[in-house]
Structure 1
Amino acid sequence: MRRKLAAGNWKMNGLSAQLDQLDALTAAHPDPAVDLMICPPATLVGAAAAQVGNKPLMIGGQDCHPAASGAHTGDVSAEMLVDAGAKAVILGHSERREDHGESDELIRQKARAAHEAGLITVICVGESLEQREASNTLDIIGGQLAASIPDNSTGANLVVAYEPIWAIGTGKIPTLDQIGEVHDFIRARLERRFGAGVGRSTRLLYGGSVKPGNAAEIFAVSNVDGALVGGASLKAADFTGIIAALEASA
Structure 2
Amino acid sequence: MPRQFFVGGNFKMNGSLESISKIVTTLNEGNITAPTEVVIAPPSLYLLSVKDKIRKEIAVSAQNSYIIASGAFTGEISPHQLKDAGIPWVIIGHSERRTLFGDTDKLVAQKTKTALDAGLSVILCIGETLEERESNKTIAVVEKQLAAVKAEISDWKNVVIAYEPVWAIGTGKVATSAQAQEVHHALRGWLSKEIGQDVAQSTRIIYGGSVSAKNSKELGEHLSHVFQLVRMIAAQPDVDGFLVGGASLKPEFIEIINAGSEKA
* TM-score range normalised by the length of the shorter chain: over 0.9
List aligned pairs for 1:1-250, cutoff 5 A.
1-17=2-18, 18-29=20-31, 32-52=34-54, 55-149=56-150, 150-155=152-157, 157-211=158-212, 212-213=226-227, 214-235=229-250, 237-250=251-264
Deviation of residue 20 (structure 1)?
Answer: 2.6
Deviations 1:16-42 (A, max 9, x none): 112231222122146751101100111
SS, match of residue 188 in structure 1: helix
Deviations 1:130-154 (A, max 9, x none): 1111111111111011013532332
Contact 1:96 1:102 in 2 (8 A): yes
- Structure-1 separation of matches of 2:183 and 2:204: 14
SS, match of residue 252 in structure 2: helix
- Structure-1 separation of matches of 2:34 and 2:40: 14
Query: Cα 1:166–1:249, aligned 2, differ >3 Å: closer, same or farther?
Result: same
Deviation of residue 228 (structure 1)?
Answer: 0.2
Deviations 1:144-171 (A, max 9, x none): 110135323322x000000001101222
SS, match of residue 58 in structure 1: strand
Deviation of residue 86 (structure 1)?
Answer: 1.2
- Structure-2 separation of matches of 1:30 and 1:102: 35
* Aligned-pair identity (%): 41
Deviation of residue 247 (structure 1)?
Answer: 2.6
- Structure-1 separation of matches of 2:202 and 2:101: 31
Contact 2:61 2:90 in 1 (8 A): yes
How many residue pairs align between the two structures? Answer: 247
Contact 2:36 2:258 in 1 (8 A): no
- Structure-2 separation of matches of 1:139 and 1:129: 14
Deviations 1:85-124 (A, max 9, x none): 2111100011000111111111111111111111110111
TM-score (norm 2): 0.89
- Structure-1 separation of matches of 2:109 and 2:196: 19
Amino acid at match of 1:84: A
- Structure-2 separation of matches of 1:11 and 1:225: 22
Which runs of no fewer than 5 residues in structure 2 stay unpaired? 213-225
Query: Cα 1:41–1:98, aligned 2, differ >3 Å: closer, same or farther?
Result: same
Query: Cα 1:140–1:30, aligned 2, differ >3 Å: closer, same or farther?
Result: closer
TM-score (norm 1): 0.94
Which runs of no fewer than 5 residues in structure 1 stay unpaired? none
